[in-house]
Amino acid sequence: MQKVENDAEAFMRSYVTKRGRSADAAQEAEKSSHSYTADESLNQHLIDLIANNDADLLQKSMGAR
What's the pLDDT tens digit per position in 22-60?
A: 888 888 877 787 888 999 989 988 888 999 999 999 999
Q: Which distant-in-sequence residues (6+ apart) come within 8 Å of 16 by Cβ? A: 22, 23, 26, 46
- pLDDT for 23: 86
Of the pLDDT bands very low, low, confident and very high (cuts 50, 70, 90), residue 64 is: low
Crossing angle for the helix pair 23-32 and 2-18, to the nearest 10 degrees:
150
